[in-house]
């Protein structure tokens, strides 16, 4: 497995990470624990060293799963987790009035201690602010994480879905190793200033939902139905009308995949990997065959002609549907 470095703080990880959220949360009922432990350990054997979780996934159950699975392999892996929500409020409230944020410094330190226990480790490799809290100056947030780094409880600081000015302000207090944002062929907003800022400051990008929450794999279409506990049922981009309209993007990936003897998912991931050498996508999966398929994207070389063909075709496809309901979208880009 190829390695990549996130930011100037020297955080080296596998070129592809593994998003663990769907094993416990958001994509239908939680999956079988022993099967997921086996999958996580197999991912390490396959060369993946970068695992992404958060206290709010469950809440808490995903960190516990990742901690149990990776404890025997701890010296071989980099674990990222996140703070920033008030977990005394049910995170499924994200479907209603929206989640409650809490990035007060004392809360960040409490979360760090609790996450360390659940992850069965003495240090968090990468600690992200999950969403920017408008009630707490980002300098205070960065300062709190800086103190955790000085105490040896955290190694690197990250931000998720933060705006460019917020990233600059945080980075001035404590260098930011990575920013985690949605980025894929069907959500390209990071190209409108974020990528340029990260390149200037020397910060890595960790794209979540690099396969468009499963849509870009070609396994979902307008006739697909989701479990009532699957949060895609709340997303405007996953209405049957939007999925039908957005099929054009999957068809494009399918055409390129046929030329390359690959799959649409592999083309989507290879496209992201080709954008910058400091981009590390974290596709999530709960199935071994999908894990192997995703890993195959790392070896897939897209030529400059391939990339031009994809871009020139993609730019003519208008993606239909907002990526989030309004209340969740308001939490991004601040």
* Catalytic center residues: 57
Give CA angle at 28 (27, 32), nearest 5°: 100
Q: Residue 290: phi, psi to the nearest 5?
A: -70, -40
CB atoms within 10 A of CB 75: 5
SS3 call for 289: helix
Burial of 165 (0-12, 13-18, 19+ CB in 10 A): exposed
SS3 call for 66: helix
Burial of 307 (0-12, 13-18, 19+ CB in 10 A): middle
C-alpha span between 10 and 211 (Å, rounded):
27
C-alpha span between 97 and 233 (Å, rounded):
16
C-alpha span between 46 and 41 (Å, rounded):
9
């Amino acid at each position: 497995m190829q390695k990549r470095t996130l930011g100037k703080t020297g955080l080296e990880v596998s070129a592809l990470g593994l998003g663990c959220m769907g094993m416990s949360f958001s994509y239908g009922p939680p999956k079988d624990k022993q099967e997921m432990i086996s999958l996580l350990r197999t991912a390490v054997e396959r060369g993946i060293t970068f695992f992404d979780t958060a206290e709010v996934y469950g809440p808490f159950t995903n960190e516990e799963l990742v901690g149990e699975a990776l404890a025997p392999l701890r010296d071989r892996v980099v674990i990222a987790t996140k703070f920033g929500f008030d977990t005394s409020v049910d995170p499924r409230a994200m479907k209603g009035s929206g989640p409650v944020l809490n990035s007060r410094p004392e809360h960040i330190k409490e979360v760090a201690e609790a996450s360390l226990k659940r992850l069965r480790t003495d240090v968090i490799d990468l600690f992200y602010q999950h969403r920017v809290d408008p009630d707490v100056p980002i300098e205070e947030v960065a300062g709190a994480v800086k103190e955790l780094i000085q105490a040896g409880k955290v190694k690197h600081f990250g931000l998720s879905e933060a705006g460019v000015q917020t990233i600059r302000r945080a980075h001035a207090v404590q260098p930011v190793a990575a920013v985690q944002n949605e980025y894929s062929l069907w959500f390209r907003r990071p190209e409108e200033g974020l990528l340029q800022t990260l390149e200037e400051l020397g910060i890595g990008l960790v794209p979540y939902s690099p396969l468009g929450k499963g849509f870009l794999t070609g396994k979902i279409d307008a006739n697909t139905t989701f479990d009532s506990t699957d949060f895609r049922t709340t997303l405007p981009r996953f209405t049957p009308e939007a999925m039908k309209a957005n099929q054009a993007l999957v068809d494009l990936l399918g055409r390129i995949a046929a030329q390359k003897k690959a799959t649409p998912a592999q083309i989507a991931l290879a496209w992201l990997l080709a954008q910058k050498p400091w981009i590390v996508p974290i596709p999530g999966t709960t199935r071994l065959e999908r894990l192997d398929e995703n890993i195959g994207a790392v070896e897939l070389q897209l030529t400059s002609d391939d990339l031009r063909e994809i871009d020139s075709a993609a730019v003519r496809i208008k993606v239909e549907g907002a990526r989030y309901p309004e209340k969740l979208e308001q939490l991004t880009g601040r």
